[in-house]
Amino acid sequence: MRDDSRPSPDALLRALQKAEAADKKGKLSIFFGMAAGSGKTYAMLEAAQNRLKDGVDVIIGVVETHGRTETEALLRGLPSIPKRKIHYRGAELDEFDIDAVLLRHPSLILVDELAHTNAPGSRHAKRWQDVLELLDAGIDVYTTLNVQHIESRKESVEAVTGVTIRETVPDSILERAAQIELVDITPADLLKRLNEGKVYTGDMATQAAENFFKEDRLSALREIALRLTAEKVENDLQTLLTLRGMASGWKSTERLMVAVSHSPYSEGLIRATRRLAYALEAPWIAVYVDTGANLSADDKSQLSKNLGLVKELGGETVLTAGPDIADTLRRIAEQRNVTQVIFGRPVRRWFRDLMGGGTPLDRLVSESGRFDVLILRQDKFGEGPRRRFSWPAPESGFLSYWYILWLIGAVSLLNYFLDPIIGYRATGFIFLLSILIISLFVSLGPILFAAILSSFIWDFFFIPPVGTFAIRAPEDAFMGFVYFVVAVVTGTLTHRIRKRENLLRQREERTTTLYEIVKAIAATGNMESFIDVTTNQLSSALNGKCGVYLSDSQGALTQVKTTNSLGGLTDHEMAVAKYVFEKMKPGGWSTDTLPSADSLYLPLVGTADIVGVLVFNPKSKTKLLPEEMEFLLMVTRQLAIGVEREILNEKSRQAHQLQESERLHQTILDSISHEIRTPLTTIIGASSALQDREIADNIETRDELTEEIIDASGRLNLVVENLLDTSRLGSGMLKLKLEWCDPKDLLSVTLEILKKLLESYGIKVSSAEELPLIYVDFHLMEQVLSNLIRNAAIATPAGKEITIDVKAVGESLEITILDSGPGIPEDAMKDVFKRFYRVVGTPAGGMGLGLWLAKNIVELHGGKISVQNRSTGGAAFTVSLPLKPQPEIPSEEEHGTIR
């Protein structure tokens, strides 16, 4: 059975996330009032003095007393941060120094006038953005705010007061506040304070009394402030009840969607939707549908402003493209389970509505089966922004009209010669065909121009009576009218099809760009390679240059070299990049944070941490369109995940190498302890025995012990030499000392060194009478053969034969050592040349370095080594060395020497 008293899981999750975020960051307290002079700053200072008495570290960031004596008295005893000097247009301005506050990092700071606009050149455009940074740094903030500066109440205040509000604060700031203290005062008391000069002085007081400070207006502002405070308290109560496992008496399942465009009236729609969503405790989204229409610079700016307002008010923006606004909105509403769609009543234009089958609102209402449509009239937002008439950005230039003029002239000339043959009525079809062809290449304006021009020419030059616009026959007049309508309609429909095709092509290009980037990130294991692909694709798609800066182990940003290099950053630009990296928030050009920068900086935030910064430097300083910014952010997320993946892979490889190194380290220690201990034990034992006088006087016994010491020393020397060669190979320090050698001499020297070891075996050497000389390092090649022959002796039972075959094969000299042992297991064939590998079951002795060293030394000479099992039993190791052009043999008189 369902328990309706329990809170919904979504509401509980939102409440927990909000509480968790509040615990990690500083707490915001807002002293809220209906107007200037209500006592907000005074109340804030009183509260700060009480906190100072409690031992809290309180400082003043910004406090504006406006010359009020009683307010200035409360500043005593409160330390302050000096303001920062900013030079702007020849004037010196004092601004809040956020860097000094972050360095000082107090427990509590006072920041007056939250809605203040910072001077150009400041880090943030608005003071409330400074406050958010302080809160993110874990600093508690006291601030003041008037009701007219709340973004969602802007229109209501403007309608009440008739004053345009320039500075606003997003509603999300109120939601972030841990406490809102309403500083309430009656309108009569506030007017009294104004008359006493405690609000404004001089002309400002007179101007305020004549405009803003009217009792009826102040009463309305007071009501708005009280209502807003009550809504905030109610919202906080619902969150508290949810956290305690209790649900309110009613539940909201509403989800709101507002349709926005480049119209200034969209601002009112957005604010109205925010107020309704806040009252219903419902999520809301704003949808913009790009129909492919060319927007003027003013329209683009207004669209960016509208979508920016959505983000400020805490809404979600959805950007999509489609030729049919109503159908697109319906599709998104159904996909997102929207219950209410807020729509502004559009201005009716008969031609557009006729061609489009009605207004988008009419068609949306007729298709709204799963949601309600709430229609807001434009005058609901008060006077609002007066939309200035502006021509839309032309889709075709003047040349298009010029070409059409010549084309219609050419068609008219053709019809002039065809008129006596096919008649004037048939020439109309030729004109109509030209209109259809024209509509395939130009926009709507030139199409309408061609339709009108061709109608006049056909009427004036072809329809009787010729040379006048009068038409004698009624059927000709009707035919002329039908021609014009058909030309306009078919041309318009063809243009609409082309526009839809262009939208699909643009979407396909954007999708293709994103696909190429994602494919490069997913398929390329080289981080520099997919970063290069990403920056090239972005540079091409957005008409600019891109660069990527990644952080190193010390946290410093280093540029990744790409083919389309961005170039180095200036100190100022690098400071912006570092700030974006530290704060993990976008900044620079086209944003409200450090907007004076030349480039846009986006943090590369992966699933776990930030990995770097993407830099985009535009060729044109026109602000990015919302869909372009959304596309850029999408690519940034994919790139961050790809870079983070490669960093994690590199860490995994390093961890694996470390683990392998530790394993090899242990293997070396185990092998060395055995290989060194055994000969050392022999040497110590034999040496101790020789100290005995009786044993030392026994010549036979003494010779045996001496031989044991020599053999053990040889084994110990071999271990040390192998270890040294292994170290030199690993560090790249092993250098070849090449010289011409006779293979027979090389083999003879090796066998002589191993004479004692090979006494128990039959050694058979097979070689041609004449062998070519080889150009090798004699000592290292002797070590290779020594290791191979030692391995053969270990594998071969005593008394059996070891065969050594030397022959020239093509351009190589092959030396093959064949033993008579059990051979090598098939599953061990691929591992025998690995470092520290020993075949299971082989006799004790050796560290598994001999074959590895032999392989590496042979490969340093440009040769190769291989192994295979013999059909008669045993293994055959073959060393193949390349033959060089043979040197001239010096005569005996020259006393030359060749080994």
Q: Residue 733 — very low, low, confident or very high, per pLDDT cuts 50/70/90?
A: low
Q: For the full predicted model, state whether its pTM sits above 0.85.
A: no
Instruction: Give the per-residue pLDDT at 347.
Output: 60
Q: Model confidence over 617-645: pLDDT tens digits?
A: 888 877 777 778 888 888 888 888 888 88
Instruction: Give the per-residue pLDDT at 674.
Output: 55
What is the biggest distance separating any 2 CA atoms in the chain, rounded to whole angstroms? 152
Instruction: Give the per-residue pLDDT at 382.
Output: 46
Taking CA 273 as the corner, what is the angle to CA 159 and CA 392, rounded to the nearest 5 degrees? 80
CA pseudo-torsion sign 211, 214, 220, 221: positive
In the predicted model, what is the mean pLDDT of the chain? Answer: 80
Q: Which residue has the tokens 């696909």?
A: 515
Instruction: Give the per-residue pLDDT at 116.
Output: 92
Give yes or no for residue 331 having a pLDDT over 50.
Answer: yes
Span of 32-46, 129-143, 228-242, 681-695 with lowest mean pLDDT: 228-242
Q: Model confidence over 508-565: pLDDT tens digits?
A: 777 777 778 778 777 766 788 888 888 888 888 888 888 889 888 777 888 888 877 7
Backbone angles phi, psi at 775, to 5 degrees: -105, 95
Between 270 and 300, residue with greater pLDDT = 270
Q: Which residue has the tokens 């790809």?
A: 642
Q: In the predicted model, what is the mean pLDDT of residues 817-834?
A: 85
DSSP state letters, 743-789: HHHHHHHHHHHTTTTTTTSEEEEEE-SS---EEE-HHHHHHHHHHHH
**Whole-number percent of the chain with pLDDT over 90:** 14
Instruction: Give the per-residue pLDDT at 899.
Output: 47
Span of 21-35, 425-439, 691-705 with lowest mean pLDDT: 691-705
**Whole-number percent of the chain with pLDDT over 70:** 84
Instruction: Give the per-residue pLDDT at 593.
Output: 82
Between 858 and 395, residue with greater pLDDT = 858
Q: Which residue segments constitute the domains of the chain, with CATH numbers given? A: 9-243 (3.40.50.300), 256-381 (3.40.50.620), 398-500 (no CATH), 526-650 (3.30.450.40), 735-892 (3.30.565.10)
Instruction: Give the per-residue pLDDT at 389.
Output: 42
Beta-strand (E) ranges in 768-874? 774-776, 801-809, 812-818, 864-869
Return the SS3 of 116. coil
Give yes or no for residue 390 having a pLDDT over 60.
Answer: no
Instruction: Give the per-residue pLDDT at 135.
Output: 93
Q: Residue 386 — very low, low, confident or very high, per pLDDT cuts 50/70/90?
A: very low
Q: Model confidence over 170-188: pLDDT tens digits?
A: 888 888 888 999 999 888 8
Instruction: Give the per-residue pLDDT at 661.
Output: 63
Would you state the torsion angle of the CA atoms of residues 656, 661, 662, 663, taken in this order, to the nearest 10 degrees?
90
Q: In the predicted model, what is the mean pLDDT of residues 349-358?
A: 54
Return the SS3 of 877. strand
Instruction: Give the per-residue pLDDT at 384.
Output: 44
Q: Residue 387 — very low, low, confident or very high, per pLDDT cuts 50/70/90?
A: very low
Q: Model confidence over 770-791: pLDDT tens digits?
A: 889 999 988 888 888 988 888 8
Q: What HEC string does 362-401 produce?
A: HHHHHHCCCCEEEEECHHHHCCCCCCCCCCCCCCCCHHHH
Span of 72-76, 108-112, 295-299 with lowest mean pLDDT: 295-299
Percentage helix, strand, coil, to 5, in the chain? 50, 15, 30
Between 673 and 34, residue with greater pLDDT = 34
Q: Model confidence over 197-207: pLDDT tens digits?
A: 777 766 776 77
Instruction: Give the per-residue pLDDT at 815.
Output: 92
Q: Residue 479 — very low, low, confident or very high, per pLDDT cuts 50/70/90?
A: confident
Q: Model confidence over 130-167: pLDDT tens digits?
A: 999 999 889 999 999 999 998 888 888 888 888 888 89
